[in-house]
């Protein structure tokens, strides 16, 4: 059975360690954008629980709409782009 892939990023305001798959926020503490890995398997794995720190990426945010370049590659193998809050899987 194939798991459903997330297709959109949701902007949130919460503690970084509480990010869920597909949620994004700006962390004043880290001075960077953070994204919860949209791979459902990654978020359930206590070791992988992927939260991408986008400090080395070009991030554009306007009125809650996020675009990130280059693509994001998580340790779980998830590889994706974020373009205007949409996830484009590689």
Range of the domain at 85: 10-89
In a domain, 57, yes or no: yes
Query: Contact 84/67 with Cβ under 8 angstroms?
Result: yes
Q: For the chain, which residues score pLDDT lower than 70?
A: 1-3, 43-49
Is residue 84 domain-resident?
yes
26 domain-assigned: yes
- Can you give the length of the chain in residues? 90
3 located within any domain: no
Tell me, yes or no, whether 5 lies in a domain. no
Note whether residue 58 is domain-resident. Answer: yes
Q: What pLDDT does residue 41 have?
A: 80
Q: Say how many domains are in the chain.
A: 1
Q: Specify the pLDDT at position 17.
A: 85
Whole-model pTM: value is 0.88
- Residue 1: what pLDDT? 45
Q: What is the pLDDT of residue 26?
A: 97
Interacting residues of 56 by C-beta distance below 8 A, sequence separation 6+: none
């Amino acid at each position: 059975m194939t798991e459903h892939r997330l297709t959109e990023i949701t902007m949130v305001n919460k503690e970084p360690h509480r990010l869920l798959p597909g949620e994004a926020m700006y962390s004043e503490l880290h001075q960077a954008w953070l994204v919860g890995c949209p791979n459902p398997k990654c978020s359930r794995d206590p070791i992988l629980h992927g939260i991408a720190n986008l400090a080395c990426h070009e991030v554009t945010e306007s009125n809650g709409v996020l675009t990130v370049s280059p693509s994001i590659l998580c340790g779980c193998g998830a590889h994706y782009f974020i373009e205007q809050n949409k996830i484009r899987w590689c």
